[in-house]
Structure 1
């Protein structure tokens, strides 16, 4: 389940990508399949071990081109261990809402982005997220949980204030918003609840089969109920260029 539009990012052979806060690697794997040179970056060693295994499995199954490169790197998003302008594409999907010092993280994302490169940032959308917070403290008030709810305009300004240009926004995963509302209502860890289990089966079926009816429904509902908002930015190719 991808939140970022890889066609918009033009990820392909020879493109250097870092997926900051990669988690279980969904965006890193897609970049690797498309032939990019990928860094899956996260602070969680267990997740990164699984990501590394999956990179190997993709290579063995020939699901990634031979020329593509992929590595899993552990570290801190507030101090990325890379030089300025090292990456053509920087992805930060569903991480900034976890970071108390989000402006430091944003500065690092932009620092390692090459002039002319593209930054993609996704966070939970304000309204669906606000409903989750109202329904359940457990949803967000835990170690490593969500520390803020963004309005898209607020996040956009925080990023463009760092000297990049806003390009596009989109919403995604409308079918997932009611699922999380349901989980928050019955207990976020209560996966065995009949309604939660039934909705989860629906989502898995949708992801595996991608039937036209749910694709059309989600496309229609994303502007209203999309669980995530994706923001895309470009870094000026010439230092000091007008945005």
Structure 2
């Protein structure tokens, strides 16, 4: 289940792609499938292990081009272990809302992105997230949980301040918002479990009806907002 539109991010074979806070690798897999050289970074060694296992399974199944590569790195978004301008594309999906010092994390993301490179940053959208916070303290008030609710213009401003140009936005996972509202309101009760089964069916089978419904609802209650960005190239100075 991807939050980022890889066609808009223009991920192509041979590119170096960094998946920040990769979790269990859902965005890493698609970049690998498209022939990129992917680096998946996370603090959780357990999640990195899952990412490695699935990438190995993709390799064995022939689901990634032979020239592609996927590497995992345990690291901190506040001090990325890469040189400046190392990556053609950077993805930070559902990460920034967990980081108290998001200004430093954004600066690091910008630092390792090549001039002319593209990035995608996704966070929970303000309205669906506000409903979750209102319904349940447990949803966010735990170690490693969400530390803030972003308004889109607030996050866009911080990204611009770091030197990135916003090129567009998008919304995703509208059908997931009611699930989280149910979970926050009544916990793991029968209606929540039933709705979860519907989501699994939708993810696996991708029926046309739910695809059309989600596209229609995304601008209204999409669970995530995606901001697409470019790091502008610095014009070479001309000698007088």
Which TM bucket (shorter chain)?
over 0.9
- Who is 2:23 aligned against? 23
Is 1:159 matched with 2:176? no
Counterpart residue number, 1:92 = 92
Partner of 1:37: 37
**Secondary structure of 1:148's partner?**
coil
Output the CA distance in 1 between the equivalents of 2:163 and 2:51: 32
Q: What is the distance in 2 between the residues matched to 1:205 and 1:240?
A: 53
RMSD over aligned Cα atoms: 1.1
Match of 2:209 in 1: 213
C-alpha displacement at 1:186, in angstroms?
A: 1.2
Q: How many residues align?
A: 237
User: What is the CA distance between 1:70 and its match in structure 2?
Assistant: 0.5
1:203: which partner in 2? 199
Q: Distance in 2 between matches of 1:27 and 1:150?
A: 22
Structure 2 spans left out of the alignment, 5+ residues: none
Q: Could you say which residue in structure 1 is the equivalent of 2:150?
A: 150
Give the alignment's TM-score, normalised by structure 2: 0.97
Query: Structure 1: 5+ residue runs without aligned partners?
Result: none
Offset from partner CA, 1:94-146 (integer Å, 9 cap, x none): 00000000000000000000000001000000000000000000000000000
1:1-243 equivalences under 5 Å are: 1-187=1-187, 190=188, 193-238=189-234
User: Partners in 2 of 1:45 and 1:26 — Cα distance?
Assistant: 16
TM-score for the superposition, normalised by structure 1? 0.96
CA distance in 2, matches of 1:186, 1:72: 37
